[in-house]
Amino acid sequence: MRPKIAAGNWKMNGTAAALSELDALTRALPENPPQIVICPPSPLLFRATDAVHGSPIQIGAQDCHAEASGAYTGDISAPMVADSGASHVILGHSERREMHRETDADVQAKTRAAWTSGLTAIICIGESDAQREAGETLDVIGAQLDGSLPEGVTAENTVIAYEPIWAIGTGKVPSLEQIAEVHDFIRNRLATRFGAEIGNALPLLYGGSVKASNATEIFAVENVDGALVGGASLKADDFAPIVAALARA
Ligand code: PEP
């Protein structure tokens, strides 16, 4: 049985006042909640891990550097993330790939760093609008998987998030058939490279405009083990129904 995971990416949103959303979310959780990972901006990591103490919510960072320390102004390292009490780190989000020119090789190096610090890497992959229009989706996804994942992937140290770039923050969602096609492809690719046991055990999340209104049907798609949610993770009132839908799935 693969774990179900509801992950929230707050992106560059929220100051200390936003931590009250973690209390509100804890209070709104269903009886048997899935795994929940909230990824606030890095200045909030220490306080967020304190805020969820005693709650099933886990905390993750949105990125980490491949080096453990050094002259990298503005960056945070995997040991720093782990020191905060966080358990996860999002790597290779399309916004980092686009705006910070992160390559698959960068994501792979960061993944190794995350593992060394005991963190679970949530590795994001996804095609652009133009790539989908050109019929290149599976080629792009395959290449990103091959390039971003180091040897040593296990179901405990890695989560894959399929996030079509054109669906992020746009309100556009792929059809359920399109989601199924890509998730099946990812599952097969992982099984081919890492063996059936690991391939079948790795959690695969869908991300891109997930909301309470579409969560149930997305979670019913085979090989969708949860979601990485941006906008709708900022408020407990929006995220709790998504968590509840996953708990029911
Ligand atoms: C994301 O950025 O990871 C994301 C899925 O955003 P949204 O849910 O807002 O589309």
Annotated domain spans of the chain: 5-248
For the stretch 138-153, pLDDT in tens is 999 999 999 999 999 9
Q: How far is it, in rounded angstroms, from Cα 196 to Cα 247?
A: 26
Probe residue for ligand 1, chosen from 229, 233, 235 as the CB with the greatest number of ligand atoms within 8 Å: 229
Half-sphere exposure of 157 (CA within 13 A, CB side): 17
Q: How far is it, in rounded angstroms, from Cα 127 to Cα 140?
A: 6
Q: In the predicted model, is pLDDT for residue 91 greater than 90?
A: yes
Average pLDDT over residues 146-168: 97
- Residue for token pair 């992959």: 125
pLDDT category at 84 given cuts 50, 70, 90 is very high
Q: In the predicted model, is pLDDT for residue 1 greater than 90?
A: no
Query: What is the pTM assigned to this prediction?
Result: 0.97
177 is catalytic: no
Q: Which two tokens stand for residue 10?
A: 């707050």
Is the Cβ–Cβ distance between 127 and 165 less than 8 Å? Answer: yes
| Residue 35 near ligand 1, beta carbon < 6 Å | no
Q: In the predicted model, is pLDDT for residue 8 greater than 90?
A: yes
Residue 27 C-alpha to ligand 1 middle, in angstroms? 24
Q: In the predicted model, is pLDDT for residue 208 greater than 90?
A: yes
CATH of domain 5-248: 3.20.20.70
Q: In the predicted model, is pLDDT for residue 97 greater than 90?
A: yes
Of all residues in the chain, what percent carry a pLDDT higher than 90?
100
163 is catalytic: yes
Q: What was the pLDDT predicted at 64? A: 98
Mean model confidence pLDDT for the chain? 97
| Residue 169 near ligand 1, beta carbon < 6 Å | yes
For the stretch 52-77, pLDDT in tens is 999 999 999 999 999 999 999 999 99
Is the Cβ–Cβ distance between 182 and 166 less than 8 Å? Answer: no
Average pLDDT over residues 155-171: 97
Q: Which of 65, 93, 102, 183 is catalytic?
A: 93
| Residue 77 near ligand 1, beta carbon < 6 Å | no
